Amino acid sequence: MVRTLLRRAAGVTLLLLAIVLALTAGALAFLGTAAVTATIPVLAAAGLAALASVAFLLAWPAFALLRSTRRRTAAAALAGILAVATAGLAILTVFRPLPTVTAASEPTGLRYWDLPTGSRLAYSKAPARGTPRPTPVVFLHGGPGTPGDGIDDTGRALTADGFDVYEYDQLGSGRSTRLSDVNGYTVARHVADLEAIRQAIGADKMVLFGQSWGATLAAHYLAAYPQHVAKVAFTSPGALWDGAFPDGDTGDIWDRLTPAQEAEIDALSYRPRFVAASLLQGINPDAAHALMGDAEADLLFREVLLAAAPAAQYPGAPPLRAPDNMPGFYANQLTSLDAERVADPRPALRQVHVPALVMRAEGDYKKWAVTYDYKRTLPEATLVYVEDAGHAIASDQPAVYLDLLRAFLLGKPLPAYTSEQPPR
């Protein structure tokens, strides 16, 4: 009697283990196959085949312990039921597309560059009033992949000083085209696009204004093409080179989230389809892209950014206006990953004598060392400390922001901050 109970207990345990191990094998096969192909039906077939095989192989001895007279048939039935149930659940979760939205209508004056790099980039231009200066101003948005929504009041104000002003959506974001091979989103590609833009607008030199990641892009362009930069401003800059911070602790907006914001973002992020795509991205980004396309990934990314936006601002600042422009999820993910692998631009930048303005906000979530690396590296850099502003200086202190940019452009004195240590 005891032996029979033990045998049955072992059989039930092995049966439960067969189910768990089969599901695990299916998931691993689905993900592992992504190393050799990005074709989702092939990944799904591999996952179901692994699941059914493991379920059958382990269920057979389990039914033997349970004294089943048709153990082969029972094992096959279990494997089939498990495969069908898993496929049905996956269709309702992992393979069910996330919501998308119809693209907003294009604003008046939107134009496109078709560049020799292969990029088609949307841009806006505010022409200089009066006699134009030979050096146009080009604004570089942050992210990567989080564009603005055309030229703002600051950009339009600069036209009164004789500057043509450009603002564009970087490759993979806003109204610019997305890549079918998401591995093409690299720092080098963004730099090449910017150089192609310079040639397209016929400027020998440009003035670059980079915000956050846009500052990082401006720095890499400056390292590659110093002869084509007249002046450069870095606003709340991202890391000049990720390799200088091997622990990855550069300061992040996610560090500033309230519990309510974290809960909202978790609710958006912990969806089976997005989790599966995130896992695939670590193996084969093209497979992640094949599972979750740009339209749904970009909208989800936008919702996450909107939830996190208050953490980029100084307490009490007017809320950021949500742009109609859609961010680019894969441009963000793959460019950020590539930024961790690029060569150090600082040796080249130490030889560049181009006037540079570095704006640091009192409430920036980026580490002080990240900002000061620009001041330390660039021989002609002036560091300015902006009080009562967060990472989004242009939104929190628009008048101060414009005054600093105009003073910098026109060669007027700046309120330089000279200490290596942040204000206490």
Domains of the chain: 2-92 (no CATH), 111-409 (3.40.50.1820)
Helix segments in 252-389, DSSP class H: 259-269, 272-281, 285-291, 294-308, 329-339, 346-349, 368-377
State how far the Cα of 275 lies from the Cα of 384, in Å rounded to an integer: 41
Question: Which tokens in the block code for residue 317?
Answer: 């600042």
CA dihedral 218, 222, 225, 227 (to 10 degrees): 120
**What integer pLDDT is reported at residue 3 of this predicted model?**
65
**What integer pLDDT is reported at residue 63 of this predicted model?**
83
**What integer pLDDT is reported at residue 334 of this predicted model?**
98
- Predicted confidence pLDDT, tens digits, the chain (424 residues): 656 677 677 778 888 999 999 999 999 999 999 999 999 999 999 999 999 999 999 998 888 777 766 878 888 999 999 999 999 999 999 999 999 998 888 888 899 999 999 999 999 999 999 888 999 999 999 999 999 888 999 999 999 999 999 999 999 999 999 999 999 999 999 999 999 999 999 999 999 999 999 999 999 999 999 999 999 999 999 999 999 998 889 999 999 999 999 999 999 999 999 999 999 999 999 999 999 999 999 999 999 999 999 999 999 998 888 888 999 999 999 999 999 999 999 999 999 999 999 999 999 999 999 999 999 999 999 999 999 999 999 999 999 999 999 999 999 999 999 999 999 7
**What integer pLDDT is reported at residue 264 of this predicted model?**
96
**What integer pLDDT is reported at residue 69 of this predicted model?**
65
The amino acid at residue 414 is L
**What integer pLDDT is reported at residue 16 of this predicted model?**
93
State how far the Cα of 195 lies from the Cα of 414, in Å rounded to an integer: 29
**What integer pLDDT is reported at residue 68 of this predicted model?**
65
State how far the Cα of 187 lies from the Cα of 332, in Å rounded to an integer: 11
The burial class, CB within 10 Å (0-12 / 13-18 / 19+), for 95 is: middle
Question: Which tokens in the block code for residue 57?
Answer: 């192989």
Long-range contact set of residues 268-274: C-beta below 8 Å, sequence gap at least 24: 268/300, 268/303, 268/304, 268/307, 269/304, 271/93, 271/98, 272/93, 272/94, 273/93, 273/94, 273/95, 273/96, 273/97, 273/98, 274/98, 274/300
State how far the Cα of 223 lies from the Cα of 46, in Å rounded to an integer: 46
**What integer pLDDT is reported at residue 145 of this predicted model?**
96
The amino acid at residue 27 is A
**What integer pLDDT is reported at residue 105 of this predicted model?**
85
pTM (two decimals): 0.94
